Amino acid sequence: MSVKDEINKLKKEIERHNFLYHSENNPEISDAEYDALYQRLKSLESDQVVSEDSPTKTVGAKPSKGFEKHTHLKPMLSLSNVFNDEEFNKFEERILKRIQVDKVIYAVELKFDGIGISLTYEEGILTKAVTRGDGEIGEVVTENIKTISKIPHKITFNAPKIIELRGEIFFNLDDFDSINQSLQKSGGKAFINPRNAAAGTLRNLDIDIVRQRPLNIFLYALGGCSDDFNITSHQDFIAFLEKNNLPNNELVTFGDATSASNAVKKILDSRDKLNYEIDGAVVKVNDINLQEKLGFVSKAPRWAVAWKFPASEKFSKVNDILFSVGRTGIVTPYATIEPVLISGANISNVTLHNLDELKRLDIKVNDTVLVKRAGDVIPQITKVNFDARDGSENPVKVPEFCPSCGNKLKEEGPFLRCDAGMKCPAQLFGYFEHFVSRKAMNIDGLGYKINTHLINLGYVKKVADLFKLKQHESELKNLEGFGEKSIDNLFASIDDARKPKLETFINALGIPEVGETTASSLARHFKEFEKLRSATFEDLMQLDSIGNVVAKNIIEFFINDPVGIDELLDQIEIENFVASADSHLDGVRIVITGSFSEFSRDELKDIIKSKGGVPSSSVSSNTNYLLYGEKAGSKYKKAVELGVELVDETKIKDFLKI
Ligand code: IVH
């Protein structure tokens, strides 16, 4: 391939990834892979006249041309989630309490895993179909929607002056398969899943392509409407849809909370029999008066909830097994797999943890594997399908040398480790990323790309170099893609970070297994950094929250000094720990869960810390209190099981004395 051809190919590819990342929110490749493509393009362009349309000349996705924007009469909202009966019961309790009734009738529907759409009918005529967009403003895709023959262009039964009908666009599974087959036949790339295919088709600018693909639709909710539209229940709304031949789904049931919960279970059982994907059920209060009384909280209605189904498992194929080096030098195997959509996330990389896990699974490159993801937990490979082996599988090549710096690796139990410390670019990168992160030194204006530059250009060889970046000011301002202003902001943020609080600094050090909570306890106990640095094992073991392993990690960290602490201390001035006048929460361990109308969780954490409390991330028998807000989930459940004292939002101010 000529250089020009390769440049053109890369331009197209990068533009596609820009679009997937910025407009679709659905990246197919990791940042590192994107960066490699970008760097390759830049290096090829360095000997050429660069055309103005090159992605190296534009930042982010080009605004997608072609579709007009439209502001929805009423915003398109999202739904809060429940995952089980207990959480659903709490949803119902909140409703009963708010509207002071003892029973409510719900509608239970399927939750379609497609793309939201809003159809506008004015005086009975379909005038607009608009995508969800950011919820307030979407894109007008009327022509594409009109390819769906079952959508009536005119409605006559009780048609108001104006009405927005909300629904979901999707593909039937068999249609999705045929689309992919014909794409592959013609040398195109198959869609990863039906949802992506629907998104790509709905927003396709080529109407001929859209016509070839049988999009489908179900309508399920009312958006904005004029005063002449009068219905009193969701059931009425469905009748309105039916009388007008507007496409709705027939699997709707009505009943009290118990029958709603049973209906959800039935839907879950029949999920695999459907010819389209669903990711749960939606439970809605039937009575529209009650819906109005209940209203909304942030961006979701109080009168409806998405009952999400447990993560499904899906088979995929292992493309490769690679090894990545973390900030502490541990070299972790991971599989790159054919992307699969599992509970809303596109999975293409799965960690394999350590060498023992490789043996336990007996996994090989090219194997078919079962991938699982439960809630927000990281994806796992649960088993290899040995029956699918056909001899094309290759054993894992466990590296002898560090994939980042070439240093000879050591085996430590089930782990592989590179002990080159900050001389290893991958460790320096990981460490630097942690050091500057929001909960550590909180430097604005750094990210994957600029960090890579800083390290590759040799401006950052150890973390202390962060504070010496000013000497490279002119080079940084000339870096492609980083404006003068953003570099000035970066310097301002670095200067702001020169006086870190002791607990922030300890957290930023990234001592293995010393996170925010332990850093806070250490700061409270030792008050000055030098006291912590010179603490003995016994001194450390005085703290309740510190066990053998953490104490050993701290001691080793200061002996080995992988960071170059003295050089760092030359650049900054650590604020000693000062107990605040109000320390009524001294040493009290508090977990925060759910969302609060008056505070963000970070605000609550700061208040707790300022009063001597220790905000912790997980509930254990050591937890003293749980502060919980709306949508409190598993932490609440665990706290109840362990008998931890509970504080709800109405009591928070008293509890914190604010
Ligand atoms: S009702 C005000 N019903 O799920 C409530 N939404 O996670 C409006 N969805 O944005 C939504 N099936 O795109 C509703 N039967 C259903 C649904 C449904 C799928 C989507 C919809 C919504 C998202 C929320």
pLDDT tens track for 304-353: 999 988 756 788 999 999 999 999 999 999 999 998 877 556 789 999 99
In a domain, 582, yes or no: no
In-domain check, residue 476: yes
**Per the domain annotation, does 272 fall within a domain?**
yes
DSSP-based three-state secondary structure for 528: coil
The pLDDT of residue 177 is 83
pLDDT at site 443: 95
Question: Does ligand 1 come within 6 angstroms of the Cβ of 141?
Answer: no
Same domain as 225, residue 163: yes
Q: Which pLDDT value is given to residue 64?
A: 46
Within a domain: 50: no
Element (H, E) at 475: helix 473-478
Å from CA of 77 to ligand 1 middle:
8
| pLDDT value at residue 374 | 55
Count up the domains in the chain and report the number.
Answer: 6
pLDDT at residue 162 in the model? 97
580 domain residue, yes or no: no
Specify whether 200 is located in the same domain as 293.
Answer: yes
**Considering 394, 417, 440, which residue would you say is the last residue of a domain?**
417
Pocket residue to mutate for ligand 1, from 220, 222, 279, 284, most atoms within 8 A of Cβ:
220
Residue nearest atom 12 of ligand 1, based on CA coordinates: 111
Cβ-defined contacts of 613-616 (< 8 Å, 24+): 613/585, 613/586, 613/587, 613/588, 613/589, 614/517, 614/520, 614/521, 614/524, 614/545, 614/587, 614/588, 614/589, 614/590, 615/516, 615/517, 615/520, 615/590, 615/591, 616/517, 616/589, 616/590, 616/591
Q: What is the pLDDT of residue 393?
A: 95
pLDDT tier, 377 (very low <50, low <70, confident <90, very high otherwise): low
Does 396 share its domain with 506? no
| Residue 404, domain CATH | 2.40.50.140
165 CA to centre of own chain: 29
Pair (323, 398) in one structural domain: yes
Domain, as residue range, for 166? 69-308
| CATH number reported for the structural domain that contains residue 29 in this entry | 1.10.287.610
Residue tagged 């000879």 (tokens): 408
User: What tokens appear for 173 in the block?
Assistant: 């599974």
Q: In the chain, how many H helices and how many E strands?
A: 24, 24
Q: Are residues 103 and 238 in the same domain?
A: yes
Residue 188 Ramachandran class (φ > 0 left, ψ -120 to 50 alpha, else beta): beta
3-state secondary structure of 428: helix
**235 — phi, psi (to 5°)?**
-60, -40
Is there a catalytic annotation at residue 638? no
Q: What is the pLDDT of residues 544-579, one digit of tens each?
A: 778 999 999 999 999 999 899 999 999 999 999 987
Q: Which of 282, 290, 297, 298 to mutate to test the pocket of ligand 1 (most atoms within 8 A of CB)?
A: 282
Q: Which of 74, 97, 111, 462 is catalytic?
A: 111
- For residue 54, the one-letter residue type is S
Q: What is the reported pLDDT for 24?
A: 56
CA distances from 654 to 556, 581, 604, 623, 657 (A): 43, 17, 13, 19, 5
Can you tell me which residue has the tokens 């023959």? 149
Instruction: Please tell me if the CB atom of residue 112 comes closer than 6 angstroms to any atom of ligand 1.
Output: yes
What letter does residue 365 receive in the DSSP assignment?
Answer: B
What is the C-alpha to C-alpha distance for residues 409 and 55, in angstroms, rounded to an integer? 39
Q: Please name the residue whose Cα sits nearest to atom 21 of ligand 1.
A: 116
11-45 in b/e burial notation, b at 16+ Cβ within 10 A?
bebbbebbbbbebbebbbbeeeebeebbeebbebb
pLDDT (mean) for 20-30 = 58
pLDDT score for 573: 97
On whether residue 51 sits in a domain, the answer given is no
Cα dist from 623 to 278, 613, 626, 639, whole Å: 38, 11, 8, 8
Q: What is the mean pLDDT of the segment spanning 10-28? A: 69
Which atom of ligand 1 lies nearest, measured to the CA of 306?
A: 7
Write out the two tokens for 582. Answer: 């109000």
584 within some domain: no
Q: Residue 625, Cβ neighbours under 10 Å: how many?
A: 19
Mean pLDDT of the chain: 89
φ/ψ of 102, rounded to 5, equals -110, 5
The tokens describing 499, both together, are 């006086």
Q: Residue 12: its pLDDT value, please?
A: 83
Span 592-618, mean pLDDT? Answer: 86
Ligand 1 in reach of 238 Cβ (< 6 A): no
Closest C-alpha to ligand 1, atom 18: 111
Which one of 376, 395, 417 terminates a domain? Answer: 417
Answer yes or no: is 537 within a domain.
yes
**Cβ pair 83, 375 in contact under 8 A:** yes
> According to the model, what pLDDT value does residue 449 have?
86
CB distance 571 to ligand 1 below 6 Å: no
Span 437-495, pLDDT tens digits: 988 999 998 988 899 999 999 999 999 999 999 999 999 998 877 888 889 999 999 99
> Which residue type occupies 29?
I
CB 197 within 8 A of CB 191: yes
Which one of 354, 384, 417 terminates a domain?
417
Q: Is the CB of 116 under 6 A from ligand 1?
A: yes
pLDDT of residue 118: 98
Sequence-distant (≥ 6) Cβ neighbours of residue 164 within 8 angstroms: 72, 73, 74, 118, 119, 120, 222, 223, 224, 225
Pocket flag, ligand 1, residue 77 (CB < 6 Å): yes
Indicate if 295 and 316 belong to the same structural domain. no
Q: Across residues 429-438, what is the average pLDDT?
A: 94
Pocket test for ligand 1, best of 25, 72, 131, 168 (most atoms within 8 A of CB): 168
Whether 532 has a pLDDT exceeding 80, the answer reads yes
For ligand 1, the distance from its centroid to the CA atom of residue 547, given in whole angstroms, is 47
**Ligand 1 pocket residue status of 306, Cβ below 6 Å:** yes
C-alpha 519/C-alpha 512 separation (Å) is: 11
Answer yes or no: do 350 and 480 share one domain.
Answer: no
Report the C-alpha gap between 583 and 301 in whole angstroms.
39
Q: Is 234 in the pocket of ligand 1 (CB under 6 A)?
A: no
Local structure of residue 467 (DSSP, 8 states): G
pLDDT score for 150: 95
27-81 pLDDT, tens digit per residue, is 566 555 666 687 778 778 877 777 767 777 654 444 345 789 999 999 998 898 8
> What CATH number corresponds to the domain at position 456?
1.10.150.20
Q: Are residues 398 and 513 in the same domain?
A: no
Residue 78 in contact with ligand 1 by CB distance below 6 A: yes
**Distance in Å, CA 78 to ligand 1 centroid:** 7
| pLDDT over 50 (residue 82) | yes
Q: Are both 452 and 344 inside the same structural domain? A: no
Beta-strand runs (E) in 193-329: 216-225, 253-255, 278-285, 296-297, 300-301, 304-308, 313-325
pLDDT of 655 strictly over 60: yes
- CB 315, CB 371: distance < 8 Å: yes
Q: What is the pTM of this model?
A: 0.53
Same domain, 75 and 184: yes
**Residue 87 alpha carbon to ligand 1 centre in Å:** 19
Cβ–ligand 1 distance for 281 under 6 Å, the answer no
Q: Give me the amino acid identity at 445.
A: G
Which protein residue's CA is at the shortest distance from atom 9 of ligand 1?
111
Ligand 1 pocket check for 301: Cβ under 6 Å: yes
| C-alpha closest to that of 619 among 645, 652, 599 | 645
**Same domain, yes or no: 238 and 331:** no
The DSSP H or E segment spanning 192 is none
For residue range 145-199, list pLDDT tens digits in order.
999 999 999 999 999 999 999 999 999 988 988 998 888 778 776 676 788 889 9
Mean pLDDT of 271-284: 89
Q: List the residue whose alpha carbon is closest to atom 17 of ligand 1.
A: 111
Please check whether residues 379 and 413 belong to one and the same domain: yes
